Structure 1
Amino acid sequence: MGLINFYHLTQSAPEQVLSNLASRALEQGWKIELRGRDLARLEQLDLALWSLGETSFLPHGMAGGPHDVLQPILLTMAPSGDGRQAVMAVDGAEVAASEADTHERVWILFDGHDPEALQKARAQWKALTSEGAKAAYWSEESGRWQKKAES
């Protein structure tokens, strides 16, 4: 079984971490599913991905369009099932343990300043690892990303 990476955000904005991870994944030639739980939040991320800088953006689209399968990054509220190499879950979006086997990378990003997000991430860790998924916990509390735990 593959590895599910939990990213505990305490210093960086979710959009910044998402941008860094997605940029590296796209450089590998991977297609990414950016999974959220709220359409309004996905629309905010949609805008952020278009305006990362004056001369750069991350190519993407919202799910439900005629060319979903072609989108390098697909913003969605449900698993796409179209063979993407990476899943990035934000805002407590669900991830199945089996997705670690069907994707090159799985990331769960959560806001360390939000008690509800912390509780959700802890519940996800417990559920996923109890189903046999291997997981790694990354924290940026020191100012740099460090692996703090692995199941």
Structure 2
Amino acid sequence: MTEVLFYHLTERTLEQTLPGLLEKSLERGWRAVVQAGSKERVEALDSLLWTWRDDAFLAHSAADDAYAKYQPVFLTTDDENPNGAAIRFLVDGAVAHSLEGYERGVYLFDGHDAAAIEQARECWKAEKENGHDITYWQQKPGGSWERKA
């Protein structure tokens, strides 16, 4: 059974939140896939991960990269998992067709976007029906997380 987490972004943006979550995943020894809702978002995340901190970057690749299987983070709009990731992040409206085979699935959604909230509710229902262990986390002021459900 895959553990599925829903992160309700209320205090910080995806761009401020995702790199830290990826870094923590890599510290656990997990490779990661980030599935975005659009090619444009993948391109934006590709740029972000190279420059997200002055003293660090997150090594990664995106679709059509011949070396994707060697990278700790892979960015895509599809269901592919060429790097054998243990964790899958779903952002910007992306929906997993299946999270089977992953240790963890993570939906990040904008708490200021009514459509994103509604979509997260639908994904919650679907993942619950799939029998996954689900938790819901909401950002607190300052960016830390509080488990709500």
The normalised TM-score by structure 2 is 0.92
- What displacement does 1:131 show? 2.2
How large is the RMSD of aligned CA atoms in angstroms? 1.4
- What displacement does 1:137 show? 0.3
Structure 1: 5+ residue runs without aligned partners?
none
2:8 is paired with a residue whose SS is strand
Taking the TM superposition and a 5 Å limit, the aligned residue runs for 1:1-151 are 1-82=1-82, 83-96=84-97, 98-99=98-99, 101-143=100-142, 144-149=144-149
2:148 is paired with a residue whose SS is strand
Runs of 4+ in 1 over 6 A off after TM superposition: none
Partners in 2 of 1:28 and 1:127 — Cα distance?
Answer: 27
Amino acid at match of 1:145: W
Partners in 1 of 2:130 and 2:56 — Cα distance?
Answer: 40
How many percent of aligned residue pairs carry the same amino acid?
37
How many residues align structurally?
A: 147
Structure 2: 5+ residue runs without aligned partners?
none
- What displacement does 1:142 show? 5.0
- What displacement does 1:127 show? 1.2
Partners in 2 of 1:8 and 1:63 — Cα distance?
Answer: 27
Amino acid at match of 2:16: Q
The normalised TM-score by structure 1 is 0.91
1:69-103 CA distance string (max 9 Å, x none) = 1111100011223321110110121124x51x411
Deviates more, 1:32-41 or 1:140-149: 140-149
2:108 is paired with a residue whose SS is strand
